[in-house]
Structures are given as C-alpha cells and as structure tokens.
Amino acid sequence: MAVFANEVMGRDVVDSHNEKLGEISDLVIDKLSGSVTQIVVILEGNLDPTLLPWDYRDGRMMIPIDDVARIANRIHLRK
C-alpha cells in the first residue's frame, strides 16, 4: 500500500515503548532509487538529543528508515 508524504507530515513519532519523540517534519529520498532513506523528526522540547542513537543536525533528528517499524496514525520506531 502506498503512502504519500503529505499524509505522514506532522504525525507523532514514538519509540518502541510508545513514548513520543516528536513529529515528522520531512523525508530524505535517494535521488537514484526514489526510496525514502530517512525520516526527519522535530524532537519534543524535553528530550536530550545526545542521549538518542540517531544523528541530530540543525535542530532535527535524522532517523534511518530501517528503524521505522510501521506507519499508522503514529510513526512507530524499532528502538
């Protein structure tokens, strides 16, 4: 089933314990394959990005698509 980018923008992103990390703000797409490689998340204000296992740049967390378990009303991560 296909999912369009505008359908996931702004959805909550939760970790494997169903704790909210933030909201999805963008997708990173590989130009050659057209595949999504990362989701970009604006973190909740109370989270310390240095304690999380992903890259944090310019106020946004870059989460590899392989760490996404499923896309539903919320984006569920494997970690």
Residue 3 pLDDT exceeds 80: no
Residue 1 pLDDT exceeds 70: no
For the stretch 12-66, pLDDT in tens is: 999 999 999 999 999 999 999 999 999 999 999 999 999 999 999 988 999 999 9
Residues paired with residue 22 on neighbouring β-strands, in sequence order: 13, 43
Residue-range domains of the chain with CATH: 5-77 (2.30.30.240)
Residue 2 pLDDT exceeds 80: no
pTM, two decimal places: 0.90
